[in-house]
């Protein structure tokens, strides 16, 4: 049960870091797209 | 006894490594296969003799061939020489810039021409203007009290 609680806590962490990661991806491709368009 | 990675840690590490490989691949292919890279050139010049060293002894626009024009410009505090230039749209323009005093930049607004202008070095960037009009050139590198007014325009004609 303790292990399951830890798993749930880590799920929240994983979602958060993936959110940050996707924002980074979007910003990267956005900046690259701007560069290509100019 | 090996290192143990939590499943989520493995997922995150894989995501990070794949992202890095994707970024490096895109930048690498565009640099080497599509010739898209930062402005460069390793040419050097004596900054105290710029105005007597070709091609900077005659700055301005000159036609190289049917589809290529060369623009030679000198950056100085606080302007560019020549102050008025006109180039054709649809032709490749080769900008060659150097500085006679401090570090400036040569940035054409709304284009990808954005390069440092360093005394002692000649920086070069090739660009084709698709649309005619007047393009603002700004200095984006702090160069002194008049930095904020350092600008010029490029007139692009049909």
| Nearest Cα residue in chain A from B38 | A35
What per-residue confidence (pLDDT) applies to B33?
A: 87
CB distance B149 to B78 below 8 Å: yes
The alpha carbon of residue A34 is apart from the nearest alpha carbon of chain B, in Å, by: 9
pLDDT reading at A2 higher than 60: no
What per-residue confidence (pLDDT) applies to B4?
A: 84
Percentages (nearest 5) of helix, strand, coil residues in chain B: 20, 40, 40
The alpha carbon of residue B15 is apart from the nearest alpha carbon of chain A, in Å, by: 9
Phi, psi of B53 (to 5 degrees): -105, 125
Task: Give which of B83, B134, B123, B77 is closest to B100, Cα–Cα.
Answer: B77
What per-residue confidence (pLDDT) applies to A34?
A: 87
Residue to test with chain B: of A9, A17, A22, most B Cβ within 10 A? A17
pLDDT reading at A7 higher than 70: no
What per-residue confidence (pLDDT) applies to A28?
A: 94
CB distance B75 to B99 below 8 Å: yes
What per-residue confidence (pLDDT) applies to A10?
A: 84
CA Rg value for chain B: 21
Are residues A25 and B11, on separate chains, in Cβ contact within 8 Å? no
Overall average pLDDT of the B13-34 stretch: 91
Are residues B15 and A24, on separate chains, in Cβ contact within 8 Å? no
A21 or B38, greater pLDDT: A21
pLDDT reading at B95 higher than 90: yes
The alpha carbon of residue A1 is apart from the nearest alpha carbon of chain B, in Å, by: 17
Residue for token digits 């924002």? A23
Overall average pLDDT of the B44-54 stretch: 92
What per-residue confidence (pLDDT) applies to B41?
A: 65
Task: Please write the tens of the pLDDT for every residue from B107-155.
Answer: 999 998 999 999 999 999 999 999 999 999 999 999 999 999 999 999 9
Answer whether A31 touches B (CB < 8 Å): no
Overall average pLDDT of the B74-79 stretch: 94
DSSP assignment of B72-135 equals EEEEETTEEESSEEEEETTSEEEEEEEESSS-EEEEETTSS-EEEE-BTB-EEEEEE--S-EEE
What per-residue confidence (pLDDT) applies to A6?
A: 52
What per-residue confidence (pLDDT) applies to A3?
A: 53
Answer whether A25 touches B (CB < 8 Å): yes
Are residues B16 and A10, on separate chains, in Cβ contact within 8 Å? no
Are residues B15 and A21, on separate chains, in Cβ contact within 8 Å? yes
């Amino acid at each position: 049960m303790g292990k399951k609680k830890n798993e749930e806590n880590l799920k929240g962490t994983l979602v958060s870091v993936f959110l940050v990661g996707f924002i980074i991806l979007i910003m990267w491709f956005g900046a690259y797209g701007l560069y290509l368009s100019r | 006894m090996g290192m143990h990675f939590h499943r989520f840690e493995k997922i995150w590490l894989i995501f990070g490594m794949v992202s890095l490989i994707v970024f490096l691949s895109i930048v690498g292919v565009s640099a080497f296969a599509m010739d898209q890279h930062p402005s460069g050139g390793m040419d050097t010049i004596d900054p105290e003799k710029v105005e007597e060293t070709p091609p900077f002894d005659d700055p301005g626009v000159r036609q190289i061939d049917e589809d290529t024009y060369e623009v030679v410009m000198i950056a100085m505090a606080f302007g560019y020489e020549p102050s008025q230039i006109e180039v054709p749209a649809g032709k490749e323009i080769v900008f060659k810039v150097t500085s006679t005093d401090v570090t400036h930049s040569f940035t054409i607004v709304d284009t990808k021409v954005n390069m440092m202008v360093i005394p002692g070095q000649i920086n070069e960037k090739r660009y084709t203007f698709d649309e005619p009009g007047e393009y603002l050139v700004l200095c984006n590198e702090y160069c002194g009290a008049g930095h904020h007014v350092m600008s010029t325009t490029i007139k692009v004609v049909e």
